[in-house]
Structure 1
């Protein structure tokens, strides 16, 4: 059995319940030959409005893989509200707990260049109304899950309250420090079980110097793990863009690892594709990890599967619009060859 088939075989084992608290946005997306510089105007494609929001994306990705996903957040009183909820429902997400408020729903303005790179401007809208009172009122439904997914497109007090409520109920909490916040509240760190960041965010958060040449292959990941533990996390996934990811797991001392010398450090190889649009790829990675953790996967197993799911997302346009079902991902990468 090939490594791809073994990893993609995990898709058959997706189950369990995921709660996601956070943002839903309408993504106003234009593609250009290249991203404009300051003060510059470039020609773009016709405007497309696509479903997004980091939390909504993560929920959709997990549901498409087969997890039982419940979304908690808020939409406005505009036409985008029904659009966003309809797309999440189509992906299999339970949106019955989403709050409706007066005003605009969350939006993002996204420009994507010919190489698939993007710039994003975020306007919170209704997402700003996802407050502590709302999370507390949803406690019973929220804490029925196996795992909770959080990012930082919601007020930090709300994120902290949700993490604390779920941690007290024995729910595993996965925190995505994105949009990046360099100073996290101690209460949030204490309530979160696993951190998900990219390499630049990790370096800033832990006060670590990045490699001068930008090559992370020779980086001292064991030292990073120790800094992470001192910061307050025993487990983390650090994504490296097109170079894969690294799983740091202080509890995995007795496990065989892909990284020689320290079984607590596992390097996850990238899955190579011709990228069309990288918008939402990180969220599909997060959603896969959520689905994997809810299904009882080890953290390194969830990260390996997430490499395939996020690579698939890079081959299509938009965020949720580019996500695949378990069957489509298996077909794309040959996971049925078992």
Structure 2
């Protein structure tokens, strides 16, 4: 592969409050025996940290609260090598995700947006060589503004699923979704390039509505699947931008995603991306 790209991640920064239990509760049910963890999270921060640990130079654009969690999230991003000069500190509380995880790594998540609603593009300068990676945990209007402004390659992890305006579908160079999200957003059939993850069945790339590459999943013991999709997004985007073929990029993305599944946190340690090629 070629040199790794400069990545600008625009997205959410959360504290993950995770309860590990033998199984997930059914509606209206209370279960006991859980173990509680608090970890850095948020789809934006997860992807930024993964991209940095994989070897890319990463700038984070986001927002945290003027609270202890905000200080913690900034310290965590910086310790992973992420440039946080574009992260605003606001009066709103730092975003929080409430997560329940069962013994097989399956999860249920409720996200409380908090300071993530205050993310802006004020002062953001983007170069032609910058690769922009964003998600839909920040406001869709902000993503539309970002896509209109960015001169270079744009990757959008379209999660959580929601209707996408035509100008977004037409401009974005790469969408990344899971199979459920792909089914909920039929407009993605008209996108240039869409990566679709299929859990234990691997992942595929769809170019102009037709499947052009598919790879199987890497088998691993699942501990927590929360950060796997974010790791996949970072790795796939970096690999494609570094010149890997579609199949090679999918293999790298799946390998990094599998490494994430085997770790209990949403921001696992990773080797440089060349180690997965």
**1:160 pairs with 2:144:** yes
User: Residue 115 in 1 paired to residue 104 in 2?
Assistant: yes
Query: Residues of 1 paired with 2:33 and 2:165: CA distance?
Result: 40
Report deviation, 1:288. 0.7
TM-score normalised by the chain length of structure 2: 0.93
Structure 1 residue aligned with 2:155, among 171, 174, 195? 174
- Structure 2 unaligned segments of length 5 or more: list them: none
Query: Is the 1:75–1:99 contact (alpha carbons within 8 Å) kept by the matching residues of 2?
Result: yes
Q: Is the 8 A contact 2:214 2:250 kept in 1?
A: no
The change in CA–CA distance for 1:193 and 1:144 in structure 2 (over 3 A counts) is closer
1:124 and 2:124 correspond: no
Gaps (5+ residues) in structure 1? Answer: 1-9, 208-226, 252-261
Distance 1:14 1:305, change over 3 A: farther
The structure having more radius of gyration, on CA atoms, is 1
Q: Is the 8 A contact 1:147 1:293 kept in 2?
A: no
Q: Matches of 2:179 and 2:71 in 1, distance apart?
A: 36
Aligned to 1:3: none
**2:258 is the counterpart of 1:269:** no
Which structure has the highest strand share of the two? 2
Out of 134, 137, 141, which is 1:150 matched to? 134
Provide the secondary structure at the position in 2 that maps to 1:135.
coil
**Residues 136 and 103 of structure 1, relative CA distance in 2, 3 Å threshold:** closer
The answer to whether residue 121 in structure 2 is matched with residue 135 in structure 1 is yes
Equivalent residue number for residue 190 of structure 1: 170
Distance 2:106 2:3 in 1: 31
Does 2:179 align with 1:199? Answer: yes
Q: 2:245 is matched with which residue: 298, 318, 328?
A: 298
Q: Given that residues 14 and 65 in structure 1 are in contact (C-alpha distance below 8 angstroms), is that contact kept between their aligned partners in structure 2? A: no
Distance 1:38 1:89, change over 3 A: same
Checking the alignment, whether the CA contact within 8 Å between 2:213 and 2:246 is kept in structure 1 is: no
Does the 8 Å CA contact 1:14/1:291 hold for their aligned counterparts?
Answer: no
Cα deviation, 1:271-315, whole Å, max 9, x if unaligned, reads 000111111100000011222233233343222101100000111
The structure-2 alpha-carbon separation of the partners of 1:319 and 1:121, relative to structure 1 and needing over 3 Å to count, comes to same
Q: 1:85 to 1:145 in 2, by over 3 A?
A: farther
- Counterpart of 1:102 in structure 2 is 91
- 1:324 aligned residue (252, 270, 273): 270
In 1, are the aligned partners of 2:8 and 2:60 still within 8 Å (CA)?
A: yes
Higher helix share: 1
SS in 2 for 1:111: strand
Q: Give the 3-state SS of the residue equivalent to 1:30 in structure 2.
A: strand
Matching of residue 235 in structure 1 with residue 190 in structure 2: no
Contact 1:26 1:49 in 2 (8 A): yes
Offset, 1:250: 4.2
Shift of 1:103: 2.2
1:38-89 Cα deviation digits (max 9, x unpaired)? 1111114332110100011011111101001110011111111111111111
Query: CA separation of 1:239/1:147 partners in 2, compared to 1, >3 Å: closer, same or farther?
Result: same
CA contact (8 A) 1:17 1:294 kept: no
Contact 1:284 1:310 in 2 (8 A): yes
